[in-house]
Chain A
Amino acid sequence: MRRSGRRAGQGTVEMVVAVPVLCLTLVLAWQAVAAAWTAVRTEEAARRAALRATGAPGVARTVTESRSLAGPLVGGMHVRVTATVLP
């Protein structure tokens, strides 16, 4: 009876340790995916903006695109892409 009680206690300890670690893993993974997705979207937006900027030939222009990251750990952070369109 004492041994099985110890085992049950050990399982509880492992759960107590593992659950927050798994949660943290999920949050960090979510944040990494969000950052990656935002970076790709920002790059694509910069590409579209750069192509639009080529409508004025003869003028060098710099286009900047910025996107906010979403999530509890990265709130307020931005991905910014700058593209230079040469004449």
Chain B
Amino acid sequence: MKRRHQRGQAAVVAVGAGVLLLAVAAGVVAAASAQVAGVRAQRVADLTAVSAARALARIDADVARSPQRARSALTAAVASVPAADGARIERLTLPDARAGAAGTSVQVVVSLPAPLGLRATASARAGVRWDAAAAGGGSGWATGGGYSGPLVYRDGKPLCPSVAAAYDLMDAAARGAGVTLVVNSAFRSDAEQAVLFARHPDPRWVAPPGRSRHRDATELDLGTAAAYGWLAANASRFGFVQRYSWEPWHYGYVPGCAAPPAAPMVASAPRRAGDDAGAAWGERPVGATPPAAPGVQLPGWVPVQYRVAVTQAATREGLAPVLLASLLQAESGFDPRAVSPVGAQGIAQFMPGTAAGVGLRDPFDAGQAIPAAARLLGGHVRRFGSVPLALAAYNAGPGAVERYGGIPPYAETRAYVARILALAGGAASAPASGAWNTAVVLLPVPAHEGGA
């Protein structure tokens, strides 16, 4: 009896160890399978969101105006992506959608089979973003001085956008009078001023670091000497004053960098050659926020109700959103009811003939006019391979650009192009056609919207 009992104890230990072995193995395998299913679901969700965001950028404009239709179209367009992994789309939403615009991002929740008859779910969000910092061009950011903000360049010198816009107007007027202006110096950081002062330690000619007005990005040292007379007579029309009587080259911009950029001209194409661009100064105040810093999607002066539509229409055409926004600002100041003296209509100032040519039924409907303006400008960019030429074609017509082999010598057209380039900062000087760094990127999903 005892021996049998002792044999039974050994068997219990062996069976117990075997059961433990099986239990541990099963537990590990189940946990790992669940984990693998979760990672796989996340991968499928990521790919589905990216595909949907790409499809959103290509979606037909009429469909994009209805978020409901856009959702259906996108779901159908990307259904094959999760299906390739045996998954399915549980929910597809457009977080940025507004009335009349589908927005620029897509969020999806997908699910796929997991162990024990369960389903693993994951969510992802992707959107179209434009990276100005990577697009090159001549923009920058001022630091180390009295002014901190975006910079644009004229003759290789950094200016704040408001000063650049005013200078462009003045430069156009000077050219019309046969005078050439050159920017010899503009914004200087305190460090740069220190170097300059060390070379010429005479406070009458070079201010000590921290005391130069150049640190405010409002000051311009202009040339050439032949322009001094014209500047003395005309600079005040554009908001500039000669700072020191003994420095005929030194002009300061009185409104300052926080002032709105030069007022937009209301009229659009066709422009009249010989217009005095300077007359537009102060005519219509616009938003007070300077243009966007590199990497910022749109400047603050773009009205909230148009931000999504502008971004979506621009990215669909491969344009920088800030470029399209600057065009609309220059055209109408974002006034959808604007009518120019020559009959240009709406937020993008379409002439009736031009509107018909791009299939625009109602130029006063911003929802139609903004995508139409993007199509027209995008077409010009692809045709001429240059943003300045495309802007000139938008303003004076493509025929004039072809006839002159460049920007037509109309003062108003030149001022128009210069103003938009100033508003858009370095964005507008980036190469055309495909060089805009529009990209679909994964975005963080708000915690309360996660599907997993």
- Residues from chain A with a CB closer than 8 A to the CB of B14 are 17-18, 21
B85 at the A interface (CB under 8 A): yes
The answer to whether B342 has its CB under 8 Å from any CB of chain A is: no
Contact yes or no, B43 A50, CB < 8 A: yes
Instruction: Establish whether residues A21 and B43, one from each chain, have CB atoms under 8 Å apart when the complex forms.
Output: no
B233: A residues at CB distance < 8 A: none
Among residues of A, the one whose C-beta sits closest to the C-beta of B442 is A51
Say whether A10 contacts B9, CB under 8 Å: yes
Q: Is B20 touching A25 in the complex (CB atoms < 8 A)? A: yes
A36–B28 touching, CB < 8 Å: yes
A interface majority secondary structure: helix
Tell yes or no: B81 within 8 A of A by CB.
yes
| Pair B9/A14 contact, Cβ less than 8 Å | yes
A22 near B42 with CB under 8 A, answer no
Q: Is A28 located at the chain interface by the 8 A CB criterion?
A: yes
CB–CB A44/B39 < 8 A? yes
B13 CB contact (under 8 Å) in A17, A29, A46, A47: A17
Which residue of B36, B46, B84 is within 8 Å of A43 (Cβ)?
Answer: B36
| Bound Cα distance A52, B9 (Å) | 59
Across the interface, do B85 and A40 meet the contact criterion of CB distance under 8 Å?
no
A13: B residues at CB distance < 8 A = 10
Q: Is B134 an interface residue (CB 8 A)?
A: no
Interface size class of A (residues with CB under 8 A): 20 to 34
Q: Which residues of B contact A54 (CB under 8 A)?
A: 47, 50-51, 440
Given contacts A14-B9, A39-B32, A57-B54, contact A32 B46 (CB under 8 A): no
The reply on A35 being an interface residue by CB < 8 A is yes
Q: Is A59 an interface residue (CB 8 A)?
A: no
Are B84 and A32 in contact, with the CB atoms below 8 A? no
On whether the beta carbons of B29 and A18 are closer than 8 Å, the reply is no
The A10-30 residues at the B interface (CB cut-off 8 A) are 10, 13-14, 17-18, 21-22, 24-25, 28-29
Known: A36-B32, A54-B440. A47 touches B25 (CB 8 A): no
A32-87, CB < 8 A from B: 32-33, 35-37, 39-40, 43-44, 46-47, 50-51, 54, 57, 83-86
Known: A13-B10, A14-B9, A84-B84. A35 touches B32 (CB 8 A): yes
Q: Given the complex, which residues of A lie within 8 Å of B25, measured CB to CB?
A: 28-29, 32
Residues of chain B contacted by A28 (CB below 8 angstroms): 21, 24-25
State the Cβ distance, A31 to closest chain B Cβ, in Å: 9
Enumerate chain A residues within 8 angstroms of B224, measured Cβ to Cβ. none
Bound complex: CA A21 to CA B22 (Å): 12
Q: Name B50's contact: one of A17, A32, A44, A51 (CB within 8 Å).
A: A51
A51 and B47 contact, Cβ closer than 8 Å, known pairs A21-B18, A28-B21, A32-B29? yes
Shortest Cβ gap from A39 to chain B (Å): 5
Quick check: B24 and A29 within 8 Å, CB to CB?
yes
Cα separation A10 to B39 with both chains bound (whole Å): 50
**B80 located at the interface, meaning its Cβ lies under 8 Å from any Cβ of chain A in the complex:** yes
Interface contacts beyond A25-B17, A57-B440: sample of 9 additional A-B pairs, CB < 8 Å, sorted by A: A10-B9, A25-B24, A29-B24, A36-B29, A36-B31, A36-B36, A54-B50, A84-B84, A86-B51
Q: List 22 A-B contacts (CB under 8 A).
A: A6-B6, A10-B6, A10-B9, A10-B10, A17-B14, A18-B13, A18-B14, A21-B14, A25-B17, A28-B24, A32-B32, A35-B32, A36-B28, A40-B36, A40-B39, A44-B39, A51-B46, A51-B47, A57-B54, A83-B47, A84-B84, A85-B47
Chain A contacts to B: CB under 8 angstroms: 6, 10, 13-14, 17-18, 21-22, 24-25, 28-29, 32-33, 35-37, 39-40, 43-44, 46-47, 50-51, 54, 57, 83-86
Can you list the 4 inter-chain pairs with the closest CB atoms, starting with the nearest? A36-B32, A47-B43, A43-B39, A21-B17
